[in-house]
Amino acid sequence: MIDSGEYYQPIRTGTEIPQPLIETVENFVEVADGKVIFDMIYDVMTVNLLPQQETEFVRKSFLALLGPDVEWTFSSTLVFHEQEVSYSMEGKETQTYAWSIIRDILARCIEQDNYPDSKSDLLPVEKLIEFPWFQRLAFQYRELLEQSGEEPTVEIPYLESDIEKENAKGKKEEVPENEKSDILKAVYYDVTRAFSLHSIALIPSKPLIQSFFEQAGEKEKQEFLSGILELQSKRDYGRSALNTEQGVVHYTFEKGTVDFQLMHGEREGHGRFTMQEVVRAIQEAIDTDEYLAPGEYDAAVNEGFSLCPEENYQLYKEMKNRNQSISQASDFFYPDEWEFPSGDKTKYKSNVAAIRLLKELEQSSRPATPEEQIILARYVGWGGLANAFNPKSPNWVNEYQEMQELLTVRRFNNSDSKTVQSWNPVWESAIFTACCQRVCESHSFMELSWTMSAEGLQNSFIPMQPFK
């Protein structure tokens, strides 16, 4: 090893290190969540150790913070692999370096009294010590300093006695079965919330997201977030990593869902969440004034969202305009050539399509588009469709199963018992609710009716006595 130059690797002063590479490494130390770990690196590199020992500690520390094969972009793009580092700039060929290049950059910064001052620490050391990956790093840190005859300057509580003995014996504390589900729920919540509030793909558009959430329905919120993530995935922001309370988590967005891999911590594993969970986490943060810093939203609005990504702003405008045009939808009039569905199976399909659409509109809190109004207008009620509620009807097995899944137990039973009527409690409930909320200021009930006028067949509401 001595003959080959591998035993001792001094700082290569004659080697020209690309300036963008230096700037990106310094940016990582300044910005990444890990002040305690960067302080530990400084200690290791300022005592009498071999360069290989310094390099190995730097490698383990960087991989613990970001995880393997994950990009960090600043002046250039760095990817920290297990055994090497990839460096690239836009339009140029990717270069590969040994981990010693990172150690050399940090050593030069220390020599020049210019070691980056880390500004971010997601968790205090008292919390970090709970994670096995940090325990392993902390033990190595202490051993290296003891080997050099120095005292650790980074205070790490609870590093002695019980923890050390447990690690030496290889024992692992068992979690009671009744607590496992609660632990999994906490992990899932923390991982989802971290992505929703701190993902690099969403952070630049947070003012746009808050503005859009003010009036959009649930479905539109999910669509908007998916659109942003689709756009950012083209820049490879669909893949990201965050240092959370559960450890380092890798996220990958694809087709409306986010897969995550928990790389460190005592609960390593993987899972998936949807845009519905992301919307819920963001809305919760907005409602509690935790989503944006005080004054940040108003400043962004006054500046016309000029600091948000242009492509995301265009998506925001398109969806806002679309929602506004939908909200201005006019009343529906049956045309002269209108034909109601005929045939039992056709009527059934029309009814189911209308109910599914109605549920979607209620969830999105918006009126129907002209195309959707046609689907709703084809609802004909359940008169004569008793087979759809009969489990013994051989030709309606699939329809019976679908109705059980589509309707609540109460509505299913009501529909089953009153299929001889053309007016059904399912539709009656929806119409009654809509009328009370949007149409009538009195307490009178309104019955759906069709009338003929010069403009054609028109649906309207006739005031009646309260329905009992």
Tell me the pLDDT tens digit for each residue of 294-326. 889 999 888 888 888 899 999 998 888 776 655
CA-to-CA dists, residue 118 to 33, 35, 101, 178, 366, angstroms: 8, 5, 20, 40, 47
Bigger pLDDT: 104 or 236? 104
Q: Please tell me whether residues 322 and 183 are part of one structural domain.
A: yes
Reported as a pLDDT band with limits 50, 70 and 90, residue 56 is: very high
Max avg pLDDT among 197-211, 240-254, 355-369, 418-432: 197-211
Reported as a pLDDT band with limits 50, 70 and 90, residue 99 is: very high
Domain final position from 263, 292, 327: 327
State the average pLDDT over residues 420-424: 45
What is the pLDDT, as a whole number, of residue 358?
84
Q: Please tell me whether residues 271 and 380 are part of one structural domain.
A: no
Q: Please tell me whether residues 156 and 216 are part of one structural domain.
A: no
State the average pLDDT over residues 378-394: 85
* Total count of domains within the chain: 3
User: How far is 315 from 321, CA to CA, in rounded Å?
Assistant: 10
Domain final position from 139, 169, 199: 169
Answer yes or no: is 91 within a domain: yes
Q: Please tell me whether residues 384 and 368 are part of one structural domain.
A: yes
State the average pLDDT over residues 338-358: 87
Reported as a pLDDT band with limits 50, 70 and 90, residue 283 is: very high
Checking DSSP bridges between strand 333-334 and strand 257-262, what pairing results, if any? unpaired
Bigger pLDDT: 151 or 316? 316
Answer yes or no: is 4 within a domain: no
What is the pLDDT, as a whole number, of residue 282?
94
Per the structure, the complete domain to which residue 188 belongs is given by: 179-327
User: Which residues, at least 6 apart from 40, have a Cβ–Cβ distance to it below 8 Å?
Assistant: 57, 61, 137, 138, 141, 154
Locate 62 and state its tokens.
């960087």
Reported as a pLDDT band with limits 50, 70 and 90, residue 462 is: very low
State the average pLDDT over residues 412-416: 56
Asked which of 34-43, 90-99, 182-191, 396-405 is least confident by mean pLDDT, the reply is 182-191
The alpha-carbon radius of gyration of the chain (Å, integer) is: 31
Answer yes or no: is 3 within a domain: no
What is the pLDDT, as a whole number, of residue 201?
85
User: How far is 333 from 312, CA to CA, in rounded Å?
Assistant: 37
Answer yes or no: is 353 within a domain: yes
Q: Please tell me whether residues 128 and 243 are part of one structural domain.
A: no
Report yes or no: 76 and 89 within 8 Å, Cβ to Cβ.
yes
At 270, phi and psi to the nearest 5?
-140, 165
Q: Please tell me whether residues 108 and 200 are part of one structural domain.
A: no
What is the pLDDT, as a whole number, of residue 85?
92
Bigger pLDDT: 41 or 5? 41
State the average pLDDT over residues 148-157: 79
Domain final position from 327, 343, 360: 327
User: How far is 99 from 84, CA to CA, in rounded Å?
Assistant: 5
DSSP structure string for 365-381: T-PPPHHHHHHHHT---
User: Does residue 267 surpass a pLDDT of 70?
Assistant: no
User: Does residue 383 surpass a pLDDT of 90?
Assistant: no
Task: Give 343's DSSP letter.
Answer: S
State the average pLDDT over residues 258-284: 79
Answer yes or no: is 183 within a domain: yes
Q: Please tell me whether residues 230 and 275 are part of one structural domain.
A: yes
User: Does residue 191 surpass a pLDDT of 80?
Assistant: yes
Answer yes or no: is 210 within a domain: yes
Answer yes or no: is 394 within a domain: yes
Q: Please tell me whether residues 291 and 273 are part of one structural domain.
A: yes
Locate 36 and state its tokens.
């305690």
User: How far is 90 from 92, CA to CA, in rounded Å?
Assistant: 6
Using alpha carbons, select from 266, 284, 288, 287 the residue that is nearest to residue 276.
284
Using alpha carbons, select from 266, 279, 232, 223 the residue that is nearest to residue 251.
232
Q: Please tell me whether residues 271 and 367 are part of one structural domain.
A: no
Bigger pLDDT: 10 or 347? 347
Q: How many of the other CB atoms lie within 10 Å of CB of 203?
A: 11
Report yes or no: 243 and 120 within 8 Å, Cβ to Cβ.
no
Q: Please tell me whether residues 33 and 118 are part of one structural domain.
A: yes
Checking DSSP bridges between strand 247-254 and strand 239-244, what pairing results, if any? antiparallel
User: Which residues, at least 6 apart from 201, have a Cβ–Cβ distance to it below 8 Å?
Assistant: 228, 229, 232, 233, 237, 238, 240, 253
The per-residue pLDDT for range 393-413, each reduced to its tens digit, is 888 988 888 888 887 655 555
At 365, phi and psi to the nearest 5?
55, 50
Q: Please tell me whether residues 231 and 145 are part of one structural domain.
A: no
What is the pLDDT, as a whole number, of residue 442?
40
Q: Please tell me whether residues 189 and 164 are part of one structural domain.
A: no
Using alpha carbons, select from 196, 214, 216 the residue that is nearest to residue 205.
196
| Size of the chain, expressed as the number of residues it contains | 468
- Residue whose token pair is 């630049």: 204
What is the residue-averaged pLDDT of the chain? 76
Answer yes or no: is 231 within a domain: yes
The per-residue pLDDT for range 107-133, each reduced to its tens digit, is 989 888 888 887 666 567 777 776 777
What is the pLDDT, as a whole number, of residue 427?
52
User: Which residues, at least 6 apart from 30, have a Cβ–Cβ distance to it below 8 Å?
Assistant: 116, 117, 118, 119
